[in-house]
A and B are shown apart, each in its own frame.
Chain A
């Protein structure tokens, strides 16, 4: 067991940072890493690139990545009545939006996304698709002018939900990918066997935009992406459609929508987990995509692997992960990084 300080994860999850507006998350991460005596710099896109010396020089130059941004919303216009029109940033199922409470802009103005009272809603409307253009954020403004005193169009909007880490699981927003950032921080905290680059990337949710630049700068030979991925275990969903399950260890990808992962590294992950009695599962489904898609091709080819903390309800106001999975993902990430760094690159 490695002691995990859940207060750090809590701080990371409760901080707002939609794609393109990751600075507060980055500050929180810098607060942590400045205690570990490591070098870092922030690149032009906002990626946080951290280098930590290990006891040995690596034979393969390794970069470990997690993204700082989360899905959220952006204010697109203000109505005459003072309601805020908005769009989603990153892939959000519009159907989760009614009834949510949100925080807007730097001053974290609270707002809510309402819905017409059921008493006034025809049955046909209840069973029809929700158009985002029919949804608004209500901040209680009197009118447009009043709203403009507090809000600018373009302001970021994040879900306002609580963090609960009781009963062996964590219920929180933004676990995708603050869980990954948290694992990187826990690796950085330790004495390393080999020199390693850690990058906290921006703009993953709007098309893997930060990771490519960071990878170009670092120029790694190999990379491990630490992510959160879909666990889909609702009763009625058959086993083969579950992608992965919480509590069964990190999910390792062989292929997704943007990456064909390094086959040898995939097998290395499986065998290391087996040897060290760490729970592991393949990500069963060619779904989604992550920073690996950009890193993989940023400067020639980078051998890339992704391991993910299984997370239910990604891209909503409250995902669920299992604490043991965090432990297992961290253990596996450490073993993999040491093994890859110690091998002659080929």
Chain B
């Protein structure tokens, strides 16, 4: 299983520049579904009932395909690059990081900062993106041709297989969701032959990290009867110890929130209990901060559920997820789909 996840996490797709990873994911998904790529870089895959059969319901499964990163704003001739964030990033994760600048080709760089004793700001201990640059280590007259404002930058980190099936990598937010959806499509495609009357759409949505843009545009087009978003959510880790957070390896986190459909949530709970799928609950006081918030408001409203994969160190280059959790999320969604969605 790890190979597909590894490939998905290794191919870069910072918000708005998801082309490469879209192409890869579309190819994988196309084995099981009819696939198209939208003009704004989302992948849509469809598994429909056989011709001549009526469709009772249309269920959408969504996971976002973009990842957080940086965006070039200015290129100094001497090879130092000014940047801003593309998605929410703590400056403390940036300083000293190795990165890849995706210019005309890929250039390795290091994020540097003016050292504290030379800082002009009052607070010497705090790090600010204003004091930081990406250094690619060489200067060239043609550097401005090779790297341009708007180019994206990603963390230069590998795919680490840690103990107990835990994976640390950039972009497990939310390529692990993309992975789940491809696996789900594989399982549902087999079911098609059992003549289900349900249409399934798999949306690998772009630009989530900058405001759920891809989910908004594509859900409008897809027009499902109900939808479930698959994203990552907070697992306990150093500094995050409250029992309200999830636990890595303890199964899907079923989202419960005023903004989510109670009917879908209850069905997910019921299935997890019935099928003995390890699971946990994530209760949110209003919106969920995921694509589900946006999909639920499309057209005249779409009932929406949320299933999250527990994750440590969200929005860093070393986001950890657990492989068993991915399998269990797939199982839960498969059972949900098989029974025809929310009951």
Contact = CB atoms under 8 A, between A and B. Distances in A.
Nearest to B158: A101
A170 to B, nearest CB: 8
Contact of A235 (B76, B110, B138, B157): B76
A234 B234 contact: no
B290 to A, nearest CB: 11
A241 B118 contact: yes
Nearest to A230: B115
Interface in A313-330: 313, 316-318, 320, 322
A237 B113 CA distance: 10
Interface in B189-242: 234, 237-240
B61 to A, nearest CB: 24
A263 B79 CA distance: 35
A127 interface: yes
A141 B166 CA distance: 9
B160 A112 contact: yes
Contact of B239 (A93, A109, A116, A233): A116
Nearest to B162: A140
Given A119-B289, A146-B163, A317 B315 contact: no
A134 B239 contact: yes
A96 B163 contact: no
Interface in B133-148: 133, 135-138
B112 A141 contact: no
A237 B131 CA distance: 11
A112 B115 contact: no
B101 to A, nearest CB: 12
B126 A312 contact: no
Given A164-B108, A168-B138, A112 B125 contact: no
A254 to B, nearest CB: 21
Contacts of B335: none
Contact of A138 (B80, B138, B320): B320
B80 A234 contact: yes
B257 interface: no
A113 B133 CA distance: 22
A145 B78 CA distance: 51
Contacts of A57: none
A152 interface: no
A101 B318 contact: yes
B317 A99 contact: yes
A110 B160 contact: yes
Q: How large is the interface on A (under 10, 10 to 19, 20 to 34, 35 or more residues)?
A: 35 or more
A174 interface: no
Interface string A114-129: 1111111100001111
B88 to A, nearest CB: 5
B138 A129 contact: no
Please tell me the size bucket of the interface on B. Answer: 35 or more
A150 B166 CA distance: 15
A312 B314 contact: no
A14 to B, nearest CB: 13
B63 to A, nearest CB: 18
Contacts of A318: 96, 98, 110
B253 to A, nearest CB: 14
Interface in A43-74: none
Contact of A117 (B115, B123, B234): B234
B163 A126 contact: no
A320 B289 CA distance: 39
Given A83-B238, A167-B137, A237-B118, A126 B90 contact: yes
Given A138-B168, A138-B312, A130 B92 contact: yes
Nearest to A130: B92
Interface string B68-96: 00000000101010000000111111111
A101 B169 CA distance: 10
Contacts of A135: 238
A90 to B, nearest CB: 15
B97 interface: yes
B166 A140 contact: yes
B313 A115 contact: yes
B76 A114 contact: no
B238 to A, nearest CB: 5
Contacts of B114: 234, 236-237
Interface string B281-301: 000000001000000000000
B32 interface: no
Contacts of A100: 96-97, 318
A142 interface: yes
A279 interface: no
Contact of A129 (B107, B125, B234, B314): B125
Given A234-B135, A235-B76, A312-B137, A118 B162 contact: no
A321 to B, nearest CB: 8
Nearest to B289: A119
Interface string A90-113: 000101111111000000011111
Given A114-B237, A116-B237, A101 B125 contact: no
Given A116-B240, A162-B108, A162-B156, A150 B96 contact: no
B314 A139 contact: no
A259 B131 CA distance: 32
25 contacts: A98-B316, A99-B94, A99-B316, A101-B158, A101-B160, A109-B163, A110-B161, A112-B160, A112-B168, A112-B318, A114-B237, A117-B315, A119-B315, A126-B126, A127-B127, A139-B162, A140-B163, A140-B320, A150-B163, A162-B98, A171-B109, A171-B137, A246-B137, A317-B96, A322-B137
Q: Enumerate the 3 nearest inter-chain pairs by beta-carbon distance, A residue then B residue, closest first.
A: A96-B96, A140-B162, A140-B166
Interface of A: 83, 93, 95-101, 109-121, 126-130, 134-136, 138-142, 146, 150, 160-162, 164, 166-169, 171, 232-237, 241, 246, 312-313, 316-318, 320, 322
Given A117-B313, A235-B76, 18 more contacts: A98-B92, A99-B97, A99-B318, A111-B162, A115-B316, A117-B234, A117-B240, A118-B93, A119-B314, A127-B127, A127-B128, A129-B126, A162-B108, A167-B137, A167-B138, A313-B110, A317-B96, A322-B137
Interface of B: 76, 78, 80, 88-98, 107-110, 112-115, 118, 123, 125-128, 131, 133, 135-138, 155-158, 160-166, 168, 234, 237-240, 249, 289, 312-318, 320
